[in-house]
Structure formats: C-alpha cells, structure tokens
A and B are shown apart, each in its own frame.
Chain A
Amino acid sequence: MSSDRAHADHAHEHPTWKQYKWVALWLTLITIVEVWAYYIPSLVASKGFVPALLAMSAIKFSIVVLFYMHLKYDHKLFKALFVGPLFIAACTLVAFLFLFGNVRIG
C-alpha cells in the first residue's frame, strides 16, 4: 500500500465542509462569549470568571485538535505523541504556579 493510497483511504474519515463550517461557527461563538464576559465588570469580579474562561478555552482547544487536526480520526500513536507532552506541559505549568505562590491551597 502506497503512502498516497493510505492517505486517500484515511481521507474519507475526515469531516465534511459542512462540519468544518459548524466547527468554525462554534469557535467564533465561544470567542464572542469570552470577549463579552471580559467587558461585564460583575462577571469579571465573580469567582466563576476565571474557571469559566479556562473551560471555554479548553473547549476551543479541544475542538481544533479533534476536528481541524483530525486527532479524533487519527491513529492512537499520534494521540499519544500529542497528549503525552501536553499532559507533562500542563503539570509543569501548574507546578510552577504553586512553587512561585501564584496559586495557593486553602
């Protein structure tokens, strides 16, 4: 099996133009909500503001990785090559925030 054929076989699993359009629409809508929340002082002052922004950002991140980067449809080795370092990177980031006192427990 040639590389070209392998790629062509694999290609049919990718989302369609309509799905790509919906993904773009969702990404735009989430971004609009994020920016709208930024301009509402009562929302910014609330305890849920930062977790909500982080959750929306994580959703956008996941949508792009799963649908645009086709990780949802791709081989598990590619998933491991991305998710493994991403997990280490996220743990390192959180560890630094605790170490330097930006985040405290209790």
Chain B
Amino acid sequence: MASAPATASGAHEAHEHTHYTTTGLDNRKIAIWAFIGSECMLFASLISTYLVYKGRSLVGPLPHEAWTSPAGQVFKPILNMPVTTASTFVLLMSSLTMVLALAAVENKGKPGYEGLLGSSKTWLLATALLGAAFLGFQAYEFTSFVHEGLTIRTNLFGTSFFTLTGFHGTHVAVGVLWLMSLLFIDLKRGLGPKDAIIVDISALYWHFVDVVWIAIFTLVYLIK
C-alpha cells in the first residue's frame, strides 16, 4: 500500500477504500492487465494449434473447400461468412456500448452526461445483450456444423476449431455474467464515479475478448 495519507483518519479511510501497491497504481487494475497478458499467451497457443493443423485434415467437412467422401457424399465449405460477419459486427458494437457504460459511470452527474449518454444501466444492458447475441450466433453456428457432419471428433479442423472458438465463447459467457452482475449492482444501489474502477476492470476484460475475436475472425474465417 502506497500514497499513505498524512493523517490517521485519512489512513484509515484509505485502508478501507483503496487498493494501492508501491507503484501507486490500483492493484486490481495491475491484476487485470497481468491476467490479460496471460490470456494473450493462452489464446496464442490455441490459435497456433489451429494454424499448425490447418489444411492437414484427412476427412471433411473442411472450412473453405468442398469435400467428397469415398462414399460419394459431397460436403460444401462449412464456414458461414454472413453469420460470422454479423456476429463480428455485434461484438465490435458491444465494445462501443461498453466504453459508453464506463464513461457514464465515470461522469455520472456531470454536464453533458444527462439522459441516455449518462445512463450506465442502458449501456451495461446493451453490452450484455450484444454479448448474448454473439453467443446466440455461435450456438447457431455450432449446431449447424454438427448437423452438417462436423463435430469436435471429426477431423483436425473440427478439433482445433471447436476448441479455439469454444474457449472464446466461454470467455464471452463469463463476460456477460460479469456485466449482468454490474447491472444488478447498478439497479440496486446505482454506480457512480467511486465505482468506476470495477466497471473499468470489467471493460478491459470485455475489450480483450473483442480483440481476441478480431484475430480469430481474420485467421480462421477470412484467410483461406
């Protein structure tokens, strides 16, 4: 704990409400950045695995090419670009609503933040709904893949694809639960500038989930 206030009452207050390290930075924010750094390496390992196995599946269905089985059954390319483009747009927009939620909490009561722009509840709800919509798109994609004959056990593509996107989807689901808990707090007692740090931390997590998807969208869906 650093930046110790000069008076005893100030020190007590700081002990109750702050989480400083010797750097003078909030330890919760240091922790989330360290966590995000470790998550970078987790997703790099999953993306590496996908790319190493890319094009090495012995049987279909395949992501970008049609495949005919020895029995003569034809499988069309399995990736559905229109659906994935829509889900990508939804996730990008959720990052916008998330920064607006943080700005609304940080600037609550300040001029220019009246009405919709200052309504943290609206932006938190919008972000959670957009996250849930992304999960809906992913559930639809996974279900259609299984119906078309691609499961996690079918081939190397199926294994690495479901593992990578499944891990990402799980992160989105955790983010939606986190946002819902913030919305619950906001509805119960209201979130204000003093709570900005807890919203900031959840926003950092949410944006990280977004940047991971930016990489996945290009490396898995766009590059043939």
- Using a CB–CB cutoff of 8 Å, the interface residues on chain A facing chain B are 1-4, 6-8, 11, 14-15, 17, 20-21, 23-24, 27-28, 31, 34-35, 37-39, 44, 50, 53-54, 56-57, 60-61, 64-65, 68-69, 75, 77-78, 81-82, 84-86, 88-90, 92-93, 96-97, 100, 102
Contact = CB atoms under 8 A, between A and B. Distances in A.
A57 to B, nearest CB: 4
B207 A100 contact: no
B208 A69 contact: yes
Given A2-B17, A60-B211, A81-B30, 12 more contacts: A1-B5, A2-B13, A7-B196, A31-B89, A34-B217, A37-B222, A64-B207, A69-B211, A77-B30, A78-B29, A78-B30, A96-B48
A6 B21 CA distance: 13
Interface in B170-217: 193-194, 196-197, 200, 203-204, 207-208, 210-211, 214-215, 217
A102 B52 contact: yes
Nearest to A3: B18
B19 to A, nearest CB: 6
Contact of B207 (A39, A68, A96, A97): A68
Interface stretch (B67-75, B90-98, B151-159, B161-169): B90-98
Chain B contact residues, majority secondary structure: helix
A12 B49 CA distance: 42
B222 A38 contact: yes
Contacts of B17: 2-4
Contacts of A8: 106, 193, 196
B37 A84 contact: yes
Contacts of B210: 64, 68
Chain A contact residues, majority secondary structure: helix
A100 B23 CA distance: 42
B150 interface: no
A17 to B, nearest CB: 6
* Tier of interface size on chain B: 35 or more
B95 A64 contact: yes
A11 B196 contact: yes
Interface string B20-32: 1001011001100
A35 B93 CA distance: 17
Contacts of B3: 1
